[in-house]
Amino acid sequence: MTATASLKTRDRDTILQALAAGVVPRTGLAHIQVGRAGEVGALVRDIDRIADGGSAVRFVIGEYGAGKTFFLNLVRLIALERKCVTIHADLAPDRRIHATAGQARGLYAEAVRNLATRTKPDGGALGTVVEKFITECVRDAEDKGTAVEAAIDARLAALQVHVGGYDYAAVLKAYWRGSETDDAGLTGAALRWLRGEYSTKTEARQALGVRNIIDDGDVYDSLKLLAAFVRLAGYAGLVVVFDEMVNLYKLQSAQARNQNFEQILRIVNDGLQGSASGIGFVFGGTPEFLMDSRRGLYSYEALQSRLMENAFAGQGLIDLSGPVVRLQSLTPEDLLVLLANIRNVFSQGDAARHLVPDEALPLFMTHCNKRIGEAYFRTPRNTIKAFVQLLAVLEQNPGQGWSELIGGVDVANDAEGARDHEVADDATDDGLATLRL
């Protein structure tokens, strides 16, 4: 009996729908993951260090279709299992690490809206974290016979050393007052402030009585403050995942790129020197984003010196101790296992319900190899989509033979044109291409 045998019909349908569309499923990753134990182990050690009060920073680098999104999603799930809080967001033209017109605040707001805990892995868990913290403060106040607001101040005293720590305390006390009086407007305003959704200080002062907001210049400091807060709320630490970092590479303004790179340098310095506590960053990007000498991270000399990879790790040798993790290509053996896993998802782990026999899997791979060459296992999004579509047809047409269909499945889908389209777009589904974890 495999783990897939316990797969619920709803989760099965969610996985297959995502695979058929060429995107990474939000749930059920364990049912389709294969290989890549070394890279996962390195990130697990990072997460354990974060939970122990340390810090970490990683750049997950791979071509379009190399498996970045899938890998990042798996890292988040592992962090949640280890009692960390995670936040994540994709960079976009209107979401950057540094900006002056609200784009950095937009990135922060999107990430915190996606805040997840083990009990709420799909995001939207900020209110849960705040409620947990407030409940502990109420319990402390009752035990000590003090006011709840005094208990909140006492617990948050450690945050005063952080930029914005005083306002954090004021906002959380406003949230408690709102919950005590059933004032949904006040609690909602407090959560809006914590998510960085106020665009003017005047609006925040009228709603909460605070003089500052989380703005473009405060994003990194606010993330460190959030990390300290979730630890006070009883969680192990904060893992921040930013994908689609290639959008910084695409910025036309050299000044805008360099300002973002300066923020990344600050994060790297804190992460590598141990200046931050209980927080880790995982960035997903392409080789161009990292290595391009004109517009990539390597164009910023200080970052190049810190992110340069081990010169001795070549010719099949790897070094996962540095901040850069390169996702290796999927092997044909891994793809064979992956196709078998997808077949199991279709049958929900029941071998008697497999839609194709074992011998169909290598034949399907041979067919793909003839169509699009060895790229079918290096960036096999089209291969996976075609296999899911093949199984879908067989499931809905019980009398149809699989061998006749395989010869007619066009998995190429103009592979070169598809790649150009991915480069032009944000390729948010790049993690699907290998699913190699």
Q: What is the pLDDT of residue 377?
A: 57
Q: What is the mean pLDDT of residues 120-134?
A: 95
155: which 2 tokens? 């617990």
Return the minimum-mean-pLDDT range out of 23-27, 28-32, 171-175, 418-422: 418-422
Residue 415 pLDDT greater than 70, yes or no: no
Q: What is the mean pLDDT of residues 299-305?
A: 96
Q: What is the pLDDT of residue 400?
A: 86
Residue 380 binned pLDDT confidence (cut-offs 50, 70, 90): low
Q: Using alpha carbons only, what angle is made at residue 353 by residues 352 and 359, rounded to the nearest 5 degrees?
A: 80
61, containing H or E segment: strand 55-61
Say if residues 429 and 375 touch (Cβ distance below 8 Å). Answer: no
Return the minimum-mean-pLDDT range out of 12-21, 62-71, 137-146: 62-71
| Residue 418 or 310, more confident | 310
Q: What is the pLDDT of residue 294?
A: 95
Residue 184 binned pLDDT confidence (cut-offs 50, 70, 90): very high
Q: What is the pLDDT of residue 369?
A: 77
Among residues 276, 244, 219, the alpha carbon closest in space to that of 56 is found at: 276
pLDDT in tens, 43-100: 999 999 999 999 999 999 988 767 788 889 989 999 999 999 999 999 999 999 999 9
CA 237 to chain centre: 15
| Residue 309 or 145, more confident | 145
Residue 205 pLDDT greater than 70, yes or no: yes
pTM for the predicted model, two decimal places: 0.83
Residue 409 pLDDT greater than 70, yes or no: no
49, containing H or E segment: helix 37-51
Sequence length of the chain is: 437
Residue 247 pLDDT greater than 80, yes or no: yes
| Residue 311 or 41, more confident | 41
Q: What is the mean pLDDT of residues 349-363?
A: 91
Q: Residue 56: beta bridge partners? A: 280
Q: What is the mean pLDDT of residues 30-50?
A: 86
Residue 372 binned pLDDT confidence (cut-offs 50, 70, 90): low
Among residues 366, 110, 377, 373, the alpha carbon closest in space to that of 219 is found at: 110
Return the minimum-mean-pLDDT range out of 75-79, 396-400, 404-408: 404-408
Q: What is the mean pLDDT of residues 226-244?
A: 96
Three-state DSSP at 47 gives: helix
pLDDT in tens, 305-317: 999 988 787 777 7
Say if residues 111 and 180 touch (Cβ distance below 8 Å). Answer: no
Residue 433 pLDDT greater than 50, yes or no: no
For 66, counting Cβ atoms within 10 Å of its Cβ (0-12 exposed, 13-18 middle, 19+ buried), the class is buried
Residue 418 pLDDT greater than 60, yes or no: no
165: which 2 tokens? 């720590």
Q: What is the mean pLDDT of residues 33-40?
A: 79
What mean pLDDT value characterizes the chain? 86
CA distance linking residue 176 with residue 134, whole number of Å: 7
Domains of the chain, earliest start first: 36-125+217-326 (3.40.50.300), 134-213 (no CATH), 332-433 (no CATH)
| Residue 143 or 430, more confident | 143
Q: What is the pLDDT of residue 411?
A: 43
For 297, counting Cβ atoms within 10 Å of its Cβ (0-12 exposed, 13-18 middle, 19+ buried), the class is buried
